[in-house]
Amino acid sequence: MELAFDLHLPRHIRFGRDAAASGAETVGTRGQRPLLIHGANPRRSQWLVDALTAAGCPPITFACPHEPDVALIEAAVATGRRSGVDVVVGLGGGSVIDTAKAVAGLIPATGEAVDYLEVVGKGAALDAALLPFIALPTTAGTGTEATRNAVIDVPSARRKVSLRDPRLLPAVAIVDPALTDHTPAAVTLPSGLDAITQVIEPFISCRANRFTDALCRDAIPLGIDALRTLMAQEDSAARDTMAWVSLSGGLALANAKLGAVHGLAGPLGGMTDMPHGAIAGALLPAVLRANRAATDGRTADRIGEVEHWIAKALGCEVHSAIDHLAVWARAQGLPGLGDAGLDPAELPVIAEAAARSSSMQGNPVVLPAERLVEVMEQAW
């Protein structure tokens, strides 16, 4: 565990039920011509459109119907520039928040979107002051309301990569668990497993620190228990908890990095239509096994803590906790990688790409490409 660290945090986080009621007022303090990016169903954002209009700053709206790719980002940037917007608002799931975040950075930029992307682009620094960005997540999963990168699909490269800049952190993150109430189980499960993964990976990361440990030790057992509850029944207290776990994951990954789950998820997401959360949930047990087998000492101890929390939440023996998590998730409807239409012959290519990813830098041990192939095969 590192004793020295730098913290990268949103400038203002507002958390709690009914926090979204202040959304229009918050936007109005940052600009008068907002670009509101929402999900596929515009009716779910109508309350904010009405509130912004009543506050004297009617928004330009833009729909994000799928995970962001370069074409979607470019279209949103063009809309924002054409309309002369001065603040960007994201109201939706992780894809919407990532889109809004990227658009806030790219509207003032002088280059093409791909110029600023890592791995497949030039990785250039954003070269102009960013527009203010306000995040209102409606799912509990990615924690992207607390991170400094936006994940973007680049179909031509068959990769998902990041636009990364410390200034991409929101000016305000409004996390209102009520916005996640009654999320369908088919979304709650992968989103929740992503949130849990994003507090487990920073906890076992080689870059963990006291700040991230404090978040993750609290959030891991809470998240597993809350997700189990939500897969059985709707529960507002569990929704509150998952919103907190998701936020904690964003804060933790931004300050301690992730690991092999997300290292693999980038190229896997670029080569399939499988949702990111489902990929993370499928990979998590296999990655935990691989990391445990490859090391002892600190990492083994921390994985042991995770196993204890899983066992307590799911009512199983500690020694079988990781296997039990995998079986439980499948029983709830989580697909495996084999359901994504992957060609097994491509797994070595995916493993090589994952080994070079930014997320892999946080993994507690170096997993060779052949071991990463075994991980994906176990998640099949």
Distance separating the N- and C-terminal Cα atoms of the chain: 33
Read out DSSP for 325-369?
HHHHHHHTTPPPGGGGT--GGGHHHHHHHHHTSSGGGGSSSPPPH
pLDDT of residue 157: 86
315 phi-psi bin (left φ>0, alpha ψ -120 to 50, beta other):
left
- The pTM (predicted TM-score) of the whole model is 0.94
Are 152 and 114 spatial neighbours (Cβ–Cβ below 8 Å)?
Answer: no
The answer to whether 360 touches 283, Cβ cutoff 8 Å, is no
- Contact by Cβ (8 Å): 129, 108: yes
Condensed to tens digits (0 to 9), the pLDDT of residues 140-150 reads 999 999 999 99
CATH 1.20.1090.10 segments of the chain: 185-378
pLDDT at position 1 over 70: no
**Per-residue pLDDT tens for 362-372?**
999 999 999 99
How far is the C-alpha of 88 from the C-alpha of 151, rounded, in Å? 17
Q: Is the pLDDT of residue 2 over 60?
A: no
Average pLDDT, the chain: 95
Backbone dihedral angles phi then psi of residue 55, each to the nearest 5 degrees: -85, 0
Residue 120's pLDDT is 84
Q: Going edge to edge, which strands form the sheet with 172-175?
A: 13-15, 172-175, 133-137, 87-92, 34-38, 60-63
Question: What fold, for 185-378?
Answer: Dehydroquinate synthase-like, alpha domain (1.20.1090)
Looking at the chain, which residues constitute the CATH 3.40.50.1970 domain(s)? 13-179
Average pLDDT over residues 316-322: 96
CB 379, CB 335: distance < 8 Å: no
What is the DSSP secondary structure assignment for residue 209, as one 8-state letter?
B
Supply the pLDDT for residue 185: 97
Q: Is the pLDDT of residue 172 over 60?
A: yes
Q: What is the pLDDT of residues 24-83, one digit of tens each?
A: 999 999 999 999 999 999 999 999 999 999 999 999 999 999 999 999 999 999 999 999
Smallest CA-to-CA distance from 358 within 250, 142, 207, 175 is with 207
CATH, range 13-179: 3.40.50.1970
Which of the four pLDDT bands, split at 50, 70 and 90, describes residue 121?
Answer: confident
Residue 258 — very low, low, confident or very high, per pLDDT cuts 50/70/90? very high
d(CA 147, CA 9): 7
pLDDT at 324: 97
- Please check the confidence at residue 14 and state whether its pLDDT lies above 80: yes
Q: Is the dihedral of CA 91, 96, 101, 107 positive or negative?
A: negative
Residue with tokens 């959030």: 219
